[in-house]
Amino acid sequence: MTASPDATLIGCLDTSLAPHSFTRMKITKQSNEIPSSEIWRRKSWATNRAVALLGLPEGENSPGKYAQQIKMLLGQIAGYVTLLNPLGLQIVMTTNRTAEPHIRLGDFVDRIDNQRVVLQSIFLVNLVERSHISSRSWAQYFSGRFQDAIEKAILTFLEDVTAA
């Protein structure tokens, strides 16, 4: 069983990412290799970015390793075409399990631009504990404001669910 992304979190991301010209994609073909997901995309002459929201599958013990395993699939769903338009990817995962205190997401963000799908940040939202952890890569100059918008959406979501 997978922790499904909450409709409230989807709405918070919609609101927070829209001012940065991200639009939620209509996913016509979902891969069997990843759980149901939502993807926002922003493509301009200078940047190609995507934000993916999905539930962390039950039994998956390493959110960072999982993010690395699925980044190319998510990139393809978001429209990445090999060698034509490198994609900076931000992954937001939700979970219903108690977080392991030693999780080091920073070990799994990409440290170099491989000119393909670059995993620039990972966010893990714990729906039970109403908390989150995250890690960002080196690309703060280009993607920092987008990552700040994701962080803001998560904090708004956590405030909303705690107040309810």
The residue extents of the domains of the chain are 7-163
Band of pLDDT at residue 31, cut at 50, 70 and 90: low
Rounded to whole angstroms, the Cα distance separating 91 from 70 reads 10
pTM assigned to the model:
0.90
> Which of 91-100, 121-130, 131-140 is modeled with the greatest confidence?
121-130
Rounded to whole angstroms, the Cα distance separating 86 from 75 reads 9
